[in-house]
């Protein structure tokens, strides 16, 4: 019985490794797909905090999302630093897009101010900090964000993606094996989880992946 259990476990791990390899190959093929639109410059907006499904957000939760958005904006600058054509928009400039029914028109103005023809918008709807240490937690970090890259002439979406994860241990979910191999066995902070999420999602967009 013990040998049979070990055999089943070995087969399960092999299947997981094979699935991980296929997923990585698929992501690589997606990232290598040639862009079909000539981007002259990308205006990167600050991360905007939002609540999923228009839920009522308490002042404390709103403050957490606001602070998390600031962290995420910094991570955007880190992820895209050194990449040609990237222009970061200040919070004051981004407010041009708020409170208007003509968001595409506003996006065109912002893109024009930044000498570009595309805009990157990112929203943050969950930012839960780790409670505990790298090696033991009472509450794991959780992050949910979405991004959209679009050209401003007609509003066509060039790339988009959503990251939604609460970190789990390998024992809780064996499907985490590929991520555990890249992240290590420790528990991540919310900032580290968000950084990993941006790296994962931008790698699937030929306009944003790499540097």
Q: How far is CA 179 from CA 42, 165, 167, 169, in A?
A: 30, 12, 10, 10
Integer Cα distance of 92 and 113 in angstroms: 13
Domains along the chain?
A: 33-202 (3.40.50)
Residues 6+ apart with CB under 8 A from 20: 177, 178
Rg over CA atoms, the chain = 20
- Full-model pTM: 0.76
Residue 174 DSSP one-character state? G
pLDDT digits (tens, 9 = 90+) for 168-184: 765 555 555 556 556 66
pLDDT of 22 reads 45
pLDDT digits (tens, 9 = 90+) for 18-60: 444 444 444 434 434 557 899 999 999 999 999 765 567 788 8
């Amino acid at each position: 019985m013990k040998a049979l259990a070990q055999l089943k476990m070995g087969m399960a791990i092999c299947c997981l490794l094979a699935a991980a390899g296929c997923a990585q190959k698929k992501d690589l093929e997606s990232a290598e797909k040639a862009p079909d639109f000539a981007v002259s410059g990308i205006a990167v907006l600050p991360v905007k905090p939002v609540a999923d499904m228009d839920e009522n957000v308490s002042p404390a939760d709103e403050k957490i999302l606001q602070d998390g958005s600031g962290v995420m904006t910094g991570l955007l600058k880190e992820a895209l630093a050194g990449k040609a054509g990237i222009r970061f928009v200040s919070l004051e400039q981004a407010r041009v897009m708020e409170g208007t029914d003509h968001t595409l028109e506003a996006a065109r103005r912002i893109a024009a101010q930044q000498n570009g023809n595309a805009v990157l918008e990112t929203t943050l709807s969950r930012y839960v900090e780790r409670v505990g240490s790298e090696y033991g937690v009472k509450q794991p970090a959780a992050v949910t964000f979405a991004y959209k890259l679009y050209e401003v002439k007609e509003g066509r979406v060039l790339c988009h993606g959503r990251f939604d994860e609460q970190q789990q241990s390998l024992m809780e979910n064996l499907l985490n094996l590929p991520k555990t191999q890249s992240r290590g066995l420790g528990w991540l902070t919310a900032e580290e989880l968000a950084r990993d999420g941006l790296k994962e999602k931008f790698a699937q967009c030929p306009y944003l992946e790499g540097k």
